[in-house]
């Protein structure tokens, strides 16, 4: 689970390891414990990241508002409640449309 954030500032000396996970994105993890910390998409503003929910001191302060990549999820689980659900194609089509509107 991730939270979209902007203007993210990491503490100086934070033990982050950043790697290019695909031609579209980079990821970061804690080099001490291995916890996933964020995903950053190619072309996104440098300050915009999807941070792992558990990176926050109070993850319960965030509400789940949508499920993405539902076409790739295991059949053995589902989130409770009615949430907006997007396939990978729908998510990427929406991202492309947003990028076109902001140009």
pLDDT at 99 (0 to 100): 40
pLDDT at 47 (0 to 100): 60
pLDDT at 101 (0 to 100): 32
pLDDT at 103 (0 to 100): 28
Helix or strand or coil: residue 55? Answer: helix
Q: How far apart are CA 67 and CA 102, in angstroms?
A: 24
Q: How far apart are CA 35 and CA 79, in angstroms?
A: 22
- Positions of the chain with pLDDT lower than 70, given as ranges: 44-48, 95-103
pLDDT at 46 (0 to 100): 60
pLDDT at 45 (0 to 100): 64
pLDDT at 30 (0 to 100): 92
Q: What is the pTM of this model?
A: 0.61
């Amino acid at each position: 689970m991730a939270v979209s954030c902007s203007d993210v500032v990491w503490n100086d000396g934070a033990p982050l390891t950043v790697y290019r996970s695909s031609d579209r994105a980079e990821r970061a993890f804690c080099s001490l414990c291995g916890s996933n910390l964020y995903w950053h998409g190619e072309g996104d503003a440098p300050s915009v990241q999807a941070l792992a929910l558990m990176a926050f001191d109070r993850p319960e302060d965030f509400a789940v508002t949508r499920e993405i990549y539902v076409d790739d999820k295991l059949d053995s689980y589902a989130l409770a409640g009615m949430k907006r659900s997007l396939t990978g194609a729908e998510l990427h089509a929406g991202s492309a449309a947003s990028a076109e509107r902001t140009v």
